[in-house]
Amino acid sequence: MPVIDWHTHLTKEKILMQDLKQLKDDYVIQLAEYEQAKLNSNQKQTELQEIKQQLAEIRVTVNGLDLKVKSAKNGLNISPLEFTALKKELADKSASLHELVELMPFYENEQREATNKVPYYNGFITDTSSKIANIIVEQAINEVLDTHTDTLKTLAHAILSQYKVPRRGKVEDIYKLLGEKLCTQIFAVDGTPSVENAAKTLDNFIKQAA
């Protein structure tokens, strides 16, 4: 068995645990910000669609009123008061239409900014979860090596000994073969996890432990 400097080992493990706790706390906050960003984006998208619908309806109304005014001028078929009221309604609706047309770029910009914040916050989550995964990997490796270093060395030599032809010095081939043998046994019952399932498992672990 290898000689372990337990003081250094425990100090390093304590630092890892502190880092892990901080990262988990960060992850929960970032996840909440991400979910809020998605909600805001959806709300702005809905608002924009409603305003576009309102704009289309006002255009139809203005066009209809404009035709009525022109028809009244040609036919003289309504009273002066009715014509005045019609012109006022047309003027009011036209003013509303003009205002909405001017405001549309601002609404579109609001929606675009809200949408852009979704991947922005997701980037923080991705970075933090990657850091958490790295710490979990290091902790797991340390735990295995504390008690099974000699066994793993024996396994690595046994796997390599099966190849009589030199491997051209590619040590990564040993790592790959060792990993395949281990994972085949570890996931013999449940099957090899997909990237999506692994990400979900990590997410659940963070939420439960935070």
Express each pLDDT in 147-185 by its tens digit. Answer: 888 888 888 788 777 765 555 556 667 777 778 888 888
> Is there a domain that residue 1 lies in?
no
User: What pLDDT does residue 3 have?
Assistant: 47
> Is there a domain that residue 93 lies in?
yes
pLDDT in tens, 1-14: 444 454 455 576 77
Number of domains in the chain: 1
> Is there a domain that residue 128 lies in?
yes
Which of 40 and 12 is assigned the larger pLDDT?
40
Average pLDDT of the chain, as a whole number = 84
Alpha carbon of residue 200 to chain centroid: 13
> Is there a domain that residue 161 lies in?
yes
Structural domain of residue 126, as residue ranges? Answer: 6-209
User: What pLDDT does residue 36 have?
Assistant: 97
Which of 99 and 5 is assigned the larger pLDDT?
99
Residues 146 and 4 sit within 8 Å (Cβ to Cβ): yes
User: What pLDDT does residue 15 have?
Assistant: 79
The SS3 assignment for 190 reads coil
* 80-161 vs 171-186: helix crossing angle, rounded to 10: 110
| Residues 100, 114: Cα–Cα separation, whole Å | 20
**What would the DSSP string read from start to end of 83-120?**
HHHHHHHHHHHHHHHHHHHHHHHHHHHHHHHHHHHHHH
